[in-house]
Amino acid sequence: MKQPVYLDANASEPVRDSVLSEMVKALQITGNPSSVHAMGRRCYHMIEDAREVVADHFGGDVQNCIFTSGGTEADILAIYGQIQKRPLWIGATEHPAISQVDLPKTILPVTKEGVIDLVFLEQLLQQAETPPLVCLMLANSETGVIHPIEQAAQLCHEYGALLHIDAVQAAGRMKIDLSTIGADSLAISAHKMGGPKGVGALLLAAGNIRGAKYLEPLFIGGGQEQGRRGGTQALPMITGMAEAVRSSYIQDRRIIGELRHLIETAAKQKGAVVCGEGAPRLDNTSCLAFEGIVAQRQLMALDMAGFCVSTGSACSSGKVGKSPVLTAMGLEHLAGYSIRISLPWNITEADAEQFIDAYCRMIVA
């Protein structure tokens, strides 16, 4: 049976060969990182080496890099660990990990291109009685649209607010420096970089004294992660994550952007709309809407043709309906007709050409 062409990298990237190799090595090592004997110390030092790799690549502080079970836990830890008595403000196109948090929320609107409305944000900050905790995605998982995070951070800090960044989709695909961005915390996940599923990290900025010192843990336990995340660390997952970070940032991504452009050009010639096209976007992500063919029908047709694509966040799996992201962008008329093509790190020109052929045949069928 022919292997399907995988174009759903924003749900999860294929695991890199070098990552798998590092994980196998770690799986063969006996010991608990919290044990004081030689085997335990070996595991401990491997975790700390991985922590240094992750912190260095994202401009964080080694002592404030907390390993988690993934991006969702990192987001939740950032919110509940830092919010204290602050109100919670979130962008209108956030991932369910943040949008479904069971706390009162103020929704920050986005422009028609899906970019956070900085004018509205500043007006709201000026009126706020209590400085909020603001949560924004660095890059949207459905459209690839990149928010102007540095400007948002400047505004937040001018008015005493904290800014948490969900960088899960952006990590490994664009340069991220927490100290340059100016955010207070940053969430990342290994499997969006070609690493294993089930491991991520929350990085706290060096200047984030409240978060660094008073972060409330979600899990208590044996004092792991400096008491901020209990539970024995998953050594193979963490070493795999470090290798995914290293590998993703030495990869030449030019071919990925070129192939996305090829796909979008062909789709637009058939009448498709590229949602968020006018904004800065991740080089691998296309949100294509073709009014007249509902998203579920497109997914089924492409799946039968041998292509794995999606309609949005994999954390809403099984739900094929109108996109809340496009609705927030004022594109309600396209919200039920969009699919997401997200190119993996190992995409080939042949994969892209075959997809173009299948997509065009679907449109005229």
The helix or strand, by DSSP H or E, that contains position 259, with its residue range, turns out to be helix 254-269
260-283: b (≥16 Cβ within 10 Å) or e: beebbebbeeeebbbbbbebebbb
User: How many Å apart are CA 169 and CA 161, to the nearest integer?
Assistant: 24
State how far the Cα of 305 lies from the Cα of 110, in Å rounded to an integer. 35
Asked if 65 is an active-site residue, the reply is: no
Quick check: 359 and 266 in contact, CB under 8 A? Answer: yes
Q: Which listed residue (65, 275, 315, 360) is catalytic?
A: 315
Backbone angles phi, psi at 137, to 5 degrees: -80, 135
Tell me, what amino acid is at 232? Answer: T
The residues facing 6 across adjacent strands are: 308
Structure tokens, 357? 């052929």
DSSP one-letter code for 281: B
What DSSP designation does 290 have?
A: -
Active-site residue list: 315
